[in-house]
Chains A and B, each alone.
Chain A
């Protein structure tokens, strides 16, 4: 009794264009949009230079500075004008080289270079650090000091993780969540409205078999969804997934059980299909934006972040990202799995309580 119902459900899904759109096209559009943007190319920072010294030393300094990869230098600026532009936010960094640089140096007293920057610039501290390091090196070179200690950076995390790599698991979670909540909720509401549920109740089919068939077919769909979204991101936009695929499958299934329960609940509470749609959106939208689909949720205000980490999508995404991007094991996520398990229990109990056939 179970398998024919699952097969019938899958058939209906494939024939239902609108359902397919929400299941696949919607997340794939996001994949394509974000995949086409190169969010990871390090932005080149332009340093504007006001050179009062105009001597060999200052010219050498600027020359060396422009050879740093991420820097571009814009020379021959007038200080007043440059400061005004900086205040307006048109430029971000301004290096002022004082008059008589070479002479001051020759005296042996330190020469002060003013570095004016826009405090709102998110990369300011990095840039200041780089300039500082650059000047330190220049100092050593000018003092002709021998290199005693040399930093040899060795990247332990040899894998390059870009924004798109971070985003892709988020889109998988989003796709699975929205389809399961909204899709199942409106299907249940429609079946009730059209008395299909009641008609099924009039047969000897056991209620739990009906439930099981719905959940089973949606789990199959969600895995296909996850696989297609992942594959699209990896094939067309070069996203990297390093972890164990079996863990990913388990996490998708685990999270999706919660979303399906939510779908049952929403579909049972809603008066009709439209209401189910609206309510389904109301449930999934906040999770989509808060649970870190697009941005790390650490950026949220603290209280919000604390609440959000207990929403079902958050632990699911955290664990999926850990597995996919850092090759972690499921055992590294006991808290996340605990939260998911708690959600499964709670939503199952509520779903069985509120579900109604007529």
Chain B
């Protein structure tokens, strides 16, 4: 890969290591982020996502490795890099005695180039809150405000650290819209998350991180397709359907019995498993009460790659 990078990589990370004492929070990761994509880092808590992100943002000093952002060396040109990136920290707050407009104006002053506060607030639908303080906002509004604050310098790259953690589904949905809009404006977005559906919905490419290492990196579709069993067939059968019969079906690699009373078949090829299932049901006089084929999710990818679930 070295020396053969496409010119439109906005972030290049090579051999990044961050150690705290003996613990390697980030244990030698390398990846690139392409201009204009939404790049996701997916992994459980403690996988090293935030540490990796903060190294790239210039907030933590790497133990080893090279980081280039927008063609600049992070160590050498930290200030120029910081002028062109927007950073949202996980669970961070803002000054409690300043209004939203005052905070955005203040942060704007830290940059050579900045966007008027009211423009930013209207972008995240907080115009009518311009004169209130952060403490009086709801959780969703607060997250929207922190996103507005990342845009204060009209950045080329936006970093979002678990932007939707702790939000209810509706607020999460609305935040996804804002993130997509940032992306449509031509900015590169790098976000961390431990929600697969978020990564699947927002990201063009996803790096799956576990215990400080990147275990896979591709588009969500490719990641799922690369699974030995990219499909899941859910079967609710009446009568005395046995696990053994299902396990013997074509392309089935495993059968689980869910708490909902359904069988879950992991299939390498649903197009071959389904006819076999129907024939088997017919022959063994089993009535199929419910049949559903789903693609596997990133959750399954994670389980396959690491041997443990994303959230445990």
User: Chain A residues in contact with chain B, CB under 8 A?
Assistant: 1, 4-5, 8, 11-12, 15-16, 194-196, 198-206, 357-358
A8 touching B98 in the complex, CB below 8 Å, given contacts A194-B92, A195-B93: yes
Q: Bits for B75-115, please: 1 = Cβ < 8 Å to A, else 0.
A: 00001101101010111111111100010011101111000
A79 to chain B, nearest CB (A): 72
A196 and B92 contacting across the interface, CB-CB below 8 Å: yes
- CB < 8 Å: which of A4, A5, A15, A202 contacts B87? A202
- The residues of A that contact B80 with a CB separation of less than 8 Å are 204
A-B contact pairs, 8 of them (CB 8 A): A1-B110, A5-B109, A11-B98, A196-B92, A198-B59, A199-B149, A202-B85, A203-B82
Q: Is the interface of B mostly helix, strand, loop or mixed?
A: loop
- Supply 14 further A-B pairs (C-beta < 8 A) apart from A11-B98, A12-B96, A206-B79: A4-B106, A5-B109, A12-B95, A15-B97, A195-B91, A195-B92, A196-B92, A202-B59, A202-B87, A203-B111, A204-B80, A205-B110, A358-B59, A358-B60
CA distance A196 to B106 in the complex (A): 13
CA distance A1 to B111 in the complex (A): 8
- The residues of B that contact A12 with a CB separation of less than 8 Å are 95-98
CA distance A203 to B87 in the complex (A): 8
- The residues of A that contact B109 with a CB separation of less than 8 Å are 1, 4-5
B110 and A196 contacting across the interface, CB-CB below 8 Å: no
- The residues of A that contact B97 with a CB separation of less than 8 Å are 11-12, 15-16
A196 and B59 contacting across the interface, CB-CB below 8 Å: no
CA distance A198 to B90 in the complex (A): 11
- The residues of B that contact A194 with a CB separation of less than 8 Å are 92-94
B89 and A198 contacting across the interface, CB-CB below 8 Å: yes
Chain B interface extent, by class: 20 to 34
- The residues of A that contact B28 with a CB separation of less than 8 Å are none
A16 to chain B, nearest CB (A): 5
- B26-85 contacts to A, CB under 8 A, are 57-60, 79-80, 82-83, 85
- The residues of A that contact B92 with a CB separation of less than 8 Å are 194-196, 198-199
User: Chain B residues in contact with chain A, CB under 8 A?
Assistant: 57-60, 79-80, 82-83, 85, 87, 89-98, 102, 105-107, 109-112, 149, 153
CA distance A357 to B59 in the complex (A): 9
Closest 10 CB pairs of A and B: A195-B92, A194-B93, A202-B87, A203-B110, A12-B97, A15-B97, A205-B110, A4-B109, A204-B82, A204-B83
CA distance A196 to B95 in the complex (A): 7
CA distance A194 to B95 in the complex (A): 9
CA distance A357 to B79 in the complex (A): 17
A204 and B111 contacting across the interface, CB-CB below 8 Å: yes
For residue A203, which residue of chain B has the nearest CB? Answer: B110
CA distance A5 to B149 in the complex (A): 16
- CB < 8 Å: which of B89, B93, B105 contacts A202? B89
CA distance A1 to B108 in the complex (A): 9
B89 and A203 contacting across the interface, CB-CB below 8 Å: no
CA distance A203 to B105 in the complex (A): 13
- The residues of A that contact B105 with a CB separation of less than 8 Å are 4
For residue A358, which residue of chain B has the nearest CB? Answer: B59
A189 to chain B, nearest CB (A): 13
CA distance A196 to B93 in the complex (A): 6
For residue B95, which residue of chain A has the nearest CB? Answer: A12
For residue A190, which residue of chain B has the nearest CB? Answer: B96
B111 and A195 contacting across the interface, CB-CB below 8 Å: no
For residue B91, which residue of chain A has the nearest CB? Answer: A195
B102 and A8 contacting across the interface, CB-CB below 8 Å: yes
B110 and A204 contacting across the interface, CB-CB below 8 Å: yes
Most buried by B among A8, A204, A357: A204
A5 touching B94 in the complex, CB below 8 Å, given contacts A198-B89, A202-B59, A204-B82: no
A13 to chain B, nearest CB (A): 8
